[in-house]
Amino acid sequence: MSAISDHDLEEPTRRDFIHLVAGSAAAVGAAGVVVPLVHQMNPDASVLALATKEVDLSSIEVGQAIKVMWQGKPVFIRRRTAEEIAVAEETPVSDLPDDRSRNLNDEALDASDTARTTASDGVARPEWLVLVGVCTHLGCIPLGTSQGEIKGDYNGWFCPCHGSHYDTAGRIRKGPAPENLPVPPYEFISDSVVKIG
């Protein structure tokens, strides 16, 4: 067995030092990579802004509707007339092809007009109807929001792709669409501003 020389004792010490320095540099480098990755995983303000949409309703007259985009989908907001509300309220749920609310603010409700106009705070505001404007048949965008567009047999919306008719509460009444137009999550953050999403 050979004796351990001074050289053997010194060499590992130098190597250890080099490894220690290299390891520290790698750790710093890894931390530098991890921080931006974690940062990227936190949704920033612009992403959150896309997830929700605030809409000022103050310029919408009674009887008018607007279309806004939310998460890449059209959303119809209609300020209904007293007559439109009355007709929708008087329609028995038992007459409807789809008797569910399809309201993401409360999916357990039936398709009554009150349920269709209920916001996330549980309050129904019959004057305002908020809908995702995508036909529940095959995804066309129904007509009836812009002035002069055909509104179908029930004075709501009409999908020209295959002839689905929705009423003044956005409920399917005739045609191949199987479900009412969905009501997105929304809340009124003031009397005239609604936040969708």
Asked whether position 138 contacts ligand FES by CB under 6 A, the answer is yes
Asked whether position 132 contacts ligand FES by CB under 6 A, the answer is no
Q: Which two tokens stand for residue 129?
A: 């109807």
Cα Rg of the chain (Å, integer): 30
Asked whether position 130 contacts ligand FES by CB under 6 A, the answer is no
From 21-29, 73-81, 120-128, 161-169, span contacting ligand FES (CB under 6 A): 161-169
Asked whether position 176 contacts ligand FES by CB under 6 A, the answer is yes
Asked whether position 164 contacts ligand FES by CB under 6 A, the answer is yes
DSSP conformational letter for 47: H
Distances (CA, A) of 24 to 18, 35, 48: 10, 17, 37
Asked whether position 162 contacts ligand FES by CB under 6 A, the answer is yes
Question: Is 165 marked active-site?
Answer: no
Q: Edge-to-edge, what's the strand order for the sheet holding 73-79?
A: 65-70, 73-79, 128-132
Helix (H, G, I), strand (E, B) or coil at 90: helix
Active site residues: 162
Binding site for ligand FES (CB under 6 A): 135, 137-140, 159, 161-164, 175-177
